[in-house]
């Protein structure tokens, strides 16, 4: 077992604990004042991340949300429109930051199972700047798509959306919080998935196990502006090498994301076999459970699962999310299936 036999935490891949190697890396990291550009460990992380993401430069930021919000602000002018999927993280889960930080209006489209807008949707939703309208200033995409079940969006779909936006002279930012998962699932590289985007954010604390931090990558001029905005947003860190060092260790965990994906498929198969649950096969590490056939609301389902030692999260009235991670092994998955099966049987008897 993973050490979490009493409580199996499947709420998110952000709940993992840093490994011994990460703790040692933090303790021994060479450090300096990063606001002055003097932290060698941060510089190493940024350089390595830029290479992996296929961009000229990168910036270490405290969180994925900050990275996204910096990118949105850097690419746009106040009052412009941001075009994005209506279920995207930037729109749904970032506290309206696009309105507060960048003073943008959002124009949403329903990307449905494709998860990123089609070229036709981008062309139709695009607003040209004129005397009366501020125009479309940015398109944002997401890969994997969190709310739509951790879908890994193929390169062709991302490239097509980017090409459509660029043909309209509109930049594109890619929210790649779980881009590493998408690359593993699609047997490609993060750089290939982000190649047509003008900027990309990728988390180190989702799936890869780092205790904190994300990276934002793009052109050198974009990262220069992003660095100023990070300071403006309160994200200028000092001896940040102590948290960048675990991030460097985390980058070595990309290949093992395949284990999380396999565990997610095993979990989904086991739960789908339970009478009253509908569980589609996941593409990455996010498992979506529909408990409506059993007549159990997600709130009640989550509460009962927690009582049985399985932590998960409610998404909507009958939909619950479970997320595999590096602190959960195959034995934990089998135990979770067994416990959830008892939850459903006891609740419906």
DSSP letters spanning 275-324: TT-B-PPPSSSEEEEE-GGGT--HHHHHHHHHHTTEE-EE-SSSEEEEE-
Please tell me the predicted confidence (pLDDT) of residue 21: 98
The answer on pLDDT for 2 being more than 70 is: no
Q: For 118-134, what is each residue's pLDDT tens digit?
A: 999 999 999 999 999 99
Is the pTM for the entire model greater than 0.85? yes
Give the Å distances, CA to CA, from 14 to 69, 81, 107, 259, 316. Answer: 20, 31, 30, 16, 20
DSSP state of 112: G
Instruction: Taking residues 254-268, report their average pLDDT.
Output: 98
Q: For 184-231, what is each residue's pLDDT tens digit?
A: 999 999 999 999 999 999 999 999 999 999 999 999 999 999 999 999
The answer on pLDDT for 1 being more than 80 is: no
- CA–CA gap between residue 239 and residue 30 (Å, rounded): 9
Which residues, other chains included, contact 304 with Cβ-Cβ below 8 Å and sequence gap of 6+? Answer: 296, 343, 346, 347
For 236, the token pair is 């200028």
Please tell me the predicted confidence (pLDDT) of residue 5: 59
Paired strand residues for 84: 108, 140
Q: For 277-299, what is each residue's pLDDT tens digit?
A: 999 999 999 999 999 999 999 99
- CA–CA gap between residue 213 and residue 248 (Å, rounded): 11
Please tell me the predicted confidence (pLDDT) of residue 224: 98
- CA–CA gap between residue 250 and residue 243 (Å, rounded): 11
């Amino acid at each position: 077992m993973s050490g979490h036999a009493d409580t199996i935490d499947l709420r998110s891949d952000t709940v993992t604990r840093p490994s011994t190697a990460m703790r040692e890396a933090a303790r021994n990291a060479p450090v300096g004042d990063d606001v002055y550009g003097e932290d060698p460990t941060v510089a190493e992380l940024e350089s390595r991340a830029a290479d992996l993401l296929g961009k000229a430069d990168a910036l270490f930021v405290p969180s994925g949300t900050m990275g996204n919000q910096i990118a949105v602000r850097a690419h746009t002018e106040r009052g412009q429109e941001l075009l994005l999927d209506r279920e995207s993280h930037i729109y749904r889960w970032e506290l309206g930051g696009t309105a507060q930080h960048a003073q943008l209006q959002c124009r949403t489209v329903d990307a449905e199972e494709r998860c990123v807008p089609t070229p036709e949707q981008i062309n139709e939703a695009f607003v040209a700047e004129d005397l009366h309208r501020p125009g479309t200033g940015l398109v944002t995409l997401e890969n994997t798509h969190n709310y739509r079940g951790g879908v890994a969006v193929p390169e062709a779909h991302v490239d097509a959306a980017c090409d459509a936006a660029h043909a309209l002279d509109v930049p594109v930012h890619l929210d790649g919080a779980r881009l590493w998962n998408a690359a593993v699932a699609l047997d490609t590289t993060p750089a290939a998935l982000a190649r047509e985007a003008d900027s990309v954010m990728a988390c180190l604390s989702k799936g890869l196990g780092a205790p904190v931090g994300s990276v934002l990558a793009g052109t050198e001029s974009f990262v220069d502006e992003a660095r100023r905005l990070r300071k403006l947003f309160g994200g200028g860190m000092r001896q940040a090498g102590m948290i960048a060092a675990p991030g460097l260790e985390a980058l070595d965990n990309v290949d093992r994301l395949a284990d999380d994906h396999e565990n997610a498929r095993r979990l989904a198969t086991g739960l789908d076999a339970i009478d009253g649950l509908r569980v589609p096969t996941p593409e990455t590490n996010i498992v979506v459970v529909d408990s409506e056939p059993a007549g159990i609301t997600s709130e009640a389902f989550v509460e009962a699962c927690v009582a049985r030692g399985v932590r998960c999260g409610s998404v909507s009235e009958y939909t619950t999310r479970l997320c595999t991670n590096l602190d959960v092994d195959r034995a934990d998955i089998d135990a979770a299936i067994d416990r959830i099966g008892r939850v459903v049987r006891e609740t419906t008897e």
